[in-house]
Structure 1
Amino acid sequence: MSAEIAEERIERLAALAEEAAAAGKFDRSREYVRLARRLAERNRLSLPRRFARSTCDDCDVFQRPGVNVRVRVQRGRVIRRCDCGATARYPYRE
């Protein structure tokens, strides 16, 4: 499979995961995230930053702020705490 096709599929799976999470179908969203990650690994691609930071590394669910993830901002970083208990910290610039 060429890299362009894999990138298109990853983008489509990211969109499907977001739609499923918006509809409250978190199990389906989790499957789309897992498929996208597996496809990226197989083709040695990185996930798009927006998609990678919107998913939980532990439980693979697409995160919806206020629904299944708590988002806090403090001292130059964004802290995302998932319902599964996983915490992710990302820097940001003002």
Structure 2
Amino acid sequence: MNDARIAEERIDRLADFARELARAGDDERAREAVRLARRIAERHRCGLPRRFDRFTCDACDSYLLPGRTARVRLQEGSHVVIRCDCGATERYPYRG
């Protein structure tokens, strides 16, 4: 098995683990899992999956759960605005 493929599998497992930890309320351990996944992606030069990248805060590495650790709003002009509890804001286009 090639190293990049192993790294991608590990990133997927860490993404699932971070989501479970965030849902259980263990935000600090979820943040550690996000940081580890990002380090692995950087080391092996592979990207993060879109569902993982969009639900993590770039500023504080928190796993974003709508209504719990993040506020999600729809903006006119077809954008989703996600604001983390730390104050960082991300905007993503959507078709709707």
TM-score range, shorter chain: over 0.9
- Matched to 2:5, the amino acid is E
- Within 5 Å, give how 1:59-70 maps onto structure 2: 59-70=60-71
Q: How many residues align?
A: 94
Superimposed CA distance per residue, residues 7-62 of structure 1 (whole angstroms, 9 cap, x where no aligned partner): 00000000000000000000000000000000000000110000000000000010
SS at match of 1:73: strand
Runs of 4+ with >6 A deviation: none
Tell me the equivalent position of 1:23: 24
Provide the C-alpha distance between the structure 1 equivalents of 2:69 and 2:7, rounded to a whole number of angstroms.
Answer: 28
Task: Give the Cα separation in 2 of the matches to 1:4 and 1:46.
Answer: 11
TM-score (norm. length: structure 1): 0.97
Residue pairs, 1:43-82, within 5 angstroms: 43-75=44-76, 76-82=78-84
1:74 deviates by 1.2
- Structure 2 residue runs without a partner (length 5+): none
Identity of aligned residues (%): 62
TM-score of the two chains, using structure 2 as the length reference: 0.95
Q: Counterpart of 1:87? A: 89
Structure 1 vs Structure 2 CA RMSD: 0.8
Gaps of 5+ in 1: none
